[in-house]
Structure 1
Amino acid sequence: MDLFSRSWTALLAAVAATPDEDFDRPSGCAGRLVRDLVCHLVVDAQDVLITLVTPVDAEPTVDAVTYWNLVDPPTGEDPLDALIPRLAAAYGDPGLLKSHLADVGAAAGRAAVLADPAVRVGTRDVVLTVGDYLSAYVLEWTVHHLDLVAHLPSPAGPPVEALAAARGSLEEVAGVVFPGSFSDREALLVGTGRRPPTGAETAALGELAAKLPFVVG
């Protein structure tokens, strides 16, 4: 839960530090501008709030790793995927979007701190403990933090401990181990298809290169 808070706080700070003029730059998420990514984070923060106040009286069906699944790359046909860019554009002033994320993001952060990690909650038709739910989101926050700063010169990247935890989660979800020559950041970027591997990285990956990318959803 502490790592959830640190990774989320770092991501919110990076968004707040992003100049308004950079909201029209591309993010590291294919087809998404920075403003689209920030709007997606607003939706994510709302989901966290909803989930933390949705306790269920049932046994967990997933944990922090099995909460995620490997899915096909997005095609743009998903209604929510299509909605996000339109919703982001509707904000107009990037300051309004940043302000909305700051408010709902801070609320999600406070709710996480106050939550009992042993309580079971329901979301996405699964049941898991609050502790596992928040641990799972370290992967989400870290990858999106990398998306945010991919083409920006100023905001800081994710905390090193979040990068390490996210790499470990991706490896467990995908059932693979990236070569030790890969930094945590490189493993996440290459592993999730944020960038193609270099020739040297492809050689180091061996048969694993043919399995990339691992899209988690």
Structure 2
Amino acid sequence: MDHFARSWTALRTAVGELCDQDGERPSGCAGRLVRDPVCHLVIDAQDVLITLVTPVDAEPTVDCVTYWNLVEPPTGEDPLDALIPRLAAAHGQPGLLRFHFDDDVGAAADRAAELADRGTRVGTRDDVLTAGDHLSAYVMEGTLHHLDLIAHLPAAAEPPAETLAAARASLERIAGARIPASSSDADALRVGTGRRAPTDAEQAALGELAAGILFLLG
């Protein structure tokens, strides 16, 4: 199953169904409005496009797990963190952001992924990995941002069950530990990436993991 295609299609649909007022609502990222992760996704789509057309004649240095930089604890010093809200606000018309992701670069990234040879080695962030591993990493990224978009939109559809499960499995591989089965995939992703604090029951189930599994992905 092509988890990237499933997650990306669902994500484009979720963005396309946002109304102008939704962009001003809080997202699942603390201190961020819904328009901010949409803007982040435009940059993600550009990254997918650029990476897939950047073949490298070298051995892979990372895979879909070691691709991620873990920050423990998060410092908040990533320049992109400060840029995104300003860039999102600068668009002015909410529909422009939706267009850029759903119909423009997001659609182009979807098509590029469909055409890509998964075994091709590509370069990004001074690393080398296969195109397949790069797209697998974006299953995690896309699923997390999908959850961010709909955190306060109860009528919005969740990511597909298959991609939620795949993202959870990736998170557990990154963390090197299993999250208790009592947590749903969505809850495991939100708690495991620090998007919300664990409840008392989740804290008890996580045990020692509660202090060690939290990190930001980027």
TM-score by length of 1: 0.96
Which aligned pairs between 1:89-128 and structure 2 lie closer than 5 A?
A: 89-102=89-102, 103-128=104-129
**2-structure distance, mates of 1:73, 1:104:** 33
Structure 2 partner of 1:170:
171
Is the counterpart of residue 36 in structure 1 residue 36 in structure 2?
yes
Structure 1 partner of 2:82:
82
Runs of 4+ in 1 over 2 A off after TM superposition: 72-79
Contact 1:49 1:111 in 2 (8 A): yes
**2-structure distance, mates of 1:187, 1:109:** 27
Opposite residue 167 of structure 2, the aligned amino acid is: A
Structure 2 partner of 1:198:
199
Identity %: 74
Number of residue pairs matched by the alignment: 217
Contact 1:52 1:115 in 2 (8 A): yes
Quote the offset at 1:5 in angstroms: 0.8
**1-structure distance, mates of 2:73, 2:46:** 24
Which aligned pairs between 1:127-146 and structure 2 lie closer than 5 A?
A: 127-146=128-147
**2-structure distance, mates of 1:176, 1:119:** 30
Structure 2 unaligned segments of length 5 or more: list them: none
Opposite residue 5 of structure 2, the aligned amino acid is: S
Q: Deviations over 1:154-173 (max 9, x none)?
A: 32110001110101101111
Quote the offset at 1:149 in angstroms: 0.3
Contact 2:74 2:215 in 1 (8 A): no
**2-structure distance, mates of 1:17, 1:206:** 39
Q: Deviations over 1:97-129 (max 9, x none)?
A: 111112110000000000011110000111011
Q: Deviations over 1:148-202 (max 9, x none)?
A: 1001133211000111010110111111111111111111111111111111111
**1-structure distance, mates of 2:61, 2:43:** 24
Q: Deviations over 1:22-79 (max 9, x none)?
A: 1011110112111111001000000100000000000111111111132145544332
Which aligned pairs between 1:5-44 and structure 2 lie closer than 5 A?
A: 5-44=5-44
Quote the offset at 1:214 in angstroms: 2.4
Opposite residue 143 of structure 1, the aligned amino acid is: L
**2-structure distance, mates of 1:73, 1:151:** 26
**1-structure distance, mates of 2:209, 2:78:** 29
Is the counterpart of residue 47 in structure 1 residue 44 in structure 2?
no
Structure 2 partner of 1:189:
190
**1-structure distance, mates of 2:150, 2:65:** 25
